[in-house]
Structure 1
């Protein structure tokens, strides 16, 4: 899928000394935009990315050895944004049960805004070890609920992994099967939290 070049698509002037990192970030930004549209990293070409930032295709190799490396860098940036959104939402809640719930809902909100990127993040064969960060944060959130007595006692890591499996699968299915009459995400997420985590959620009026 070709993407338009910049309006000033003439030859790009070489970066001044020390500006190589800026070009690398521009390449990642272009890849993020394209992957969001394509929703499939196999359709991304380095030539198209190079054209988007007005450089020669061979210049991309100064920053990324291959397409997979660029895809991984783009997804790492996106994943960091999703994790930050979840962290911020959790931090805004004092109650550990609501904090875990807010984390899950914030992740879902990010996915709603970036469905194509989420597809790439979870359907690509490119290695993305950075995704473990989200699981680690979820384990900690589940443990806080257990320690506070608002979730069933148990192995927080195992419970968080079950929760992650349910949430990732449910979000992916909603993207790939939009014709299904899905219930509101909040309702489904609450069922996961109650059944998988044993969470005791505050009464409805107290929820956001």
Structure 2
């Protein structure tokens, strides 16, 4: 997850360019989350944030889009690790699918600005974000495990996973953009989506029988 606090940084010893690159990415994620969009971000603003010369940022990233893309890819990698940890800690296919889905919703709630840049910014129209395909593959695998365990009707797992992702993204986007609506608990909404779109029973997330399908 992106850092939430600012740290005063000292001068990097010679040869520690990777350290500066990591600081640039961390600052970019923090600023994107605050801005909720990439248009207002500049390489100079990132340089000011970590108190280095703008030329130091240009040495690592040729333009703003390259910097934002690198930051978003890192953000997505961290998110996928969180999903993986949540799934691993759950017992059984349904619980694993539910845990991963809830992790996505919780992350978006905690980082609404980054969610908007990652999924709703104009950068999506002009840049290749192929790294987001990992989420599709992860969700499809989780849905297929439920089907293979006999806990969901047999169907095309990729199509069902796409329906689920579309519904979850819609719910998340509305929560981010219309936070004042009388939203039900995210857990309840996710359970309804899993039941209607995947065909699993919510109680299977805690059913000892589901552990056999892990």
Q: Give TM-score, length-normalised by structure 1.
A: 0.88
1:198/1:61 CA distance change after superposition, 3 Å: same
Answer yes or no: is the 8 Å Cα contact 1:6–1:54 preserved in 2: no
1:113/1:159 CA distance change after superposition, 3 Å: same
Question: For the aligned residues, what is the CA RMSD?
Answer: 2.1
Q: Show the counterpart of 2:212.
A: none
Larger mean CA deviation between 96-105 and 177-186 belongs to: 177-186
Instruction: Give me the whole-angstrom Cα distance separating, in 1, the residues matched to 2:183 and 2:167.
Output: 14
The secondary structure found in structure 1 opposite 2:202 is coil
Quote how far apart the aligned CAs of 1:125 are.
2.6
Deviations 1:84-141 (A, max 9, x none): 1111111112211111011111111212211111111111232321111111111000
1:195 aligns with 2:196: yes
Deviations 1:44-72 (A, max 9, x none): 11111011122222221111111011111
1:85 aligns with 2:67: no
Instruction: Give me the whole-angstrom Cα distance separating, in 2, the residues matched to 1:204 and 1:157.
Output: 21
1:56/1:194 CA distance change after superposition, 3 Å: same
Deviations 1:133-190 (A, max 9, x none): 1111110000000000101111101111111111111101101011211121111111
Give every structure 1 segment of 4 or more consecutive aligned residues whose post-TM-superposition deviation is greater than 2 Å: 5-8, 12-15, 203-207
Answer yes or no: is the 8 Å Cα contact 1:150–1:199 preserved in 2: yes
Q: In the alignment, which of 25, 43, 46 is matched to residue 46 of structure 1?
A: 43
Residue pairs, 1:59-70, within 5 angstroms: 59-70=56-67
Instruction: Give me the whole-angstrom Cα distance separating, in 1, the residues matched to 2:155 and 2:77.
Output: 29
Tell me which of the two structures has the higher relative contact order, counting C-alpha pairs closer than 8 angstroms and 6 or more residues apart: 2
Instruction: Give me the whole-angstrom Cα distance separating, in 1, the residues matched to 2:85 and 2:205.
Output: 22
Q: Give TM-score, length-normalised by structure 2.
A: 0.86
Instruction: Give me the whole-angstrom Cα distance separating, in 2, the residues matched to 1:180 and 1:162.
Output: 23
Quote how far apart the aligned CAs of 1:200 are.
2.3
Q: Show the counterpart of 1:73.
A: 70
1:16 aligns with 2:14: yes
Residue pairs, 1:138-153, within 5 angstroms: 138-153=139-154
Mark the runs of 5 or more structure 2 residues left unpaired by the alignment: 1-5, 209-214
The secondary structure found in structure 1 opposite 2:74 is helix
Instruction: Give me the whole-angstrom Cα distance separating, in 1, the residues matched to 2:148 and 2:101.
Output: 19
